[in-house]
Amino acid sequence: MRFSVVVPTYNRAHELRETLSSLSRLKVSAPWEVIAVDNNSTDETREVVLNAAKSFPVPLHYLFEPEAGRSAALNAGIKAAKGEIIATTDDDVRVEPDWLKQADAGLAREACDFVGGKVLPLWGGEKPSWLADQSGRHWSVIALQDHGPKPVEFGTRYAPLGVNMAFKRKALELAGLWDTRIGRKAGTLLGQEVREWLLRARAAGLKGMYIPEMIVHHVIPADRLNKRYFRRWFYWNGISRAVLYQRSRVDMLAPEETTLDFSKVPHIMGVPRYLYRTFLKSAAAMFKKKIAGREAESFDHELWLCFFAGVWRQRWRDRHTPFGEIEDARIYSHRDAGIQNSAEKAQHNPQGGQ
């Protein structure tokens, strides 16, 4: 078996049906398979997969994973995979017909161990005027990525997105599987599992590359195209980065670019002191842009305040936790509900921005 495609899924039977249809149109000259991992869905996910399997051009396997979380589902699928190259995507994606071909070519051409590529939008609603047209901070919120027309190495300035990655089997054997404690769980927006894996991959001497020809299209639902969702995502991104900091002591602003020895960096209430300067600059810039009527730029700075709120909250929680130890993310969806709601209210700017 040359390729295995692992698709974790949770309660998106309608989207999954379209994703499997897209995968069925892949043009692949070597043997391949698809593994759909049902992560405790309560809809007709199982029936969708079994029905699609009847006419699918290659083996389409249904796998049930009871442990909640995308990382747990991916790990189960990877363990069941037989391919020499294992590709991962999501249940709301449409792939280009040459997706696996481009991944294979990129691995060979760049002499690397894993690859990721472009993730372009399929808008489920009207794109807001404040959302940038090019890859950047806002695109991360809705899992989009476009680093241009040339290959770029992951691990310095850039990190891949799990919705569009492919690995040589040995890369996963050397670096290990996803850490289920910091990946996405229902009821949360935790999500630093790819960056955490990337840190382990680099430590194991593995090389990853961005391949511009390796393209998928990601469905962006209308209910994510609003400022409330972006505030919430940045708050949880702050929590996620703080969890990663607790585990590995990496720069919370740019984990892949860490150069500081954080044992020597001054901290205030568990947060590196330089982050307070970033917070104050962002607060001042937010109000300055707001007064100038530059709403999009003001909102951009406001999101950094949401990020800092998440960082500060998690670092305060971890103040008595020994370095290197982190809590299982399964508790977050219950215990943090009140915190999350309070944070969302606090993160609205004083002028009532939406």
Same structural domain, 171 and 259: no
Same structural domain, 30 and 84: yes
Q: pLDDT tens-digit profile of 4-57?
A: 999 999 999 999 999 999 999 999 999 999 999 999 999 999 999 999 999 999
Same structural domain, 272 and 208: no
Same structural domain, 170 and 250: no
pLDDT of residue 186: 64
Q: pLDDT tens-digit profile of 91-109?
A: 999 999 999 999 999 999 9
pTM over 0.75: yes
Task: Name the nearest CA neighbour of 304 among 282, 326, 324.
Answer: 282
Residue range of the domain that includes 214:
3-224
- Between 138 and 58, name the one with better pLDDT: 58
Domain count, the chain: 2
Same structural domain, 172 and 266: no
- Between 184 and 86, name the one with better pLDDT: 86
pLDDT of residue 92: 97
Q: pLDDT tens-digit profile of 256-298?
A: 777 888 889 999 999 999 999 999 999 999 999 999 988 888 8
Q: pLDDT tens-digit profile of 124-183?
A: 999 998 887 777 778 889 999 999 999 999 987 788 999 999 999 999 999 999 988 877
Cβ contact 179:196 at 8 Å: yes
pLDDT of residue 138: 84
Q: pLDDT tens-digit profile of 191-232?
A: 788 988 998 999 999 999 999 999 999 999 999 999 999 999
Final residue belonging to a domain, choices 189, 224, 259: 224
In a domain, 353, yes or no: no
In a domain, 74, yes or no: yes
CATH number of the structural domain spanning residue 71:
3.90.550.10
Same structural domain, 30 and 177: yes
Mean pLDDT over 46-72 rounds to 96
Ramachandran angles phi, psi of 147, nearest 5°: -100, 20
Final residue belonging to a domain, choices 224, 246, 268: 224
Q: How far apart are CA 175 and CA 193, in angstroms?
A: 13
Same structural domain, 279 and 338: yes
In a domain, 354, yes or no: no
In a domain, 83, yes or no: yes
Q: How far apart are CA 214 and CA 301, in angstroms?
A: 32
In a domain, 351, yes or no: no
Q: How far, in Å, are 35, 121, 282 from residue 216 at the CA level?
A: 18, 9, 34
Establish how many alpha carbons lie within 13 A of residue 61's alpha carbon, considering only the half-sphere containing its beta carbon.
Answer: 19
Final residue belonging to a domain, choices 197, 224, 251: 224
Same structural domain, 63 and 81: yes
Same structural domain, 14 and 155: yes
In a domain, 206, yes or no: yes
pLDDT tier, 330 (very low <50, low <70, confident <90, very high otherwise): very low
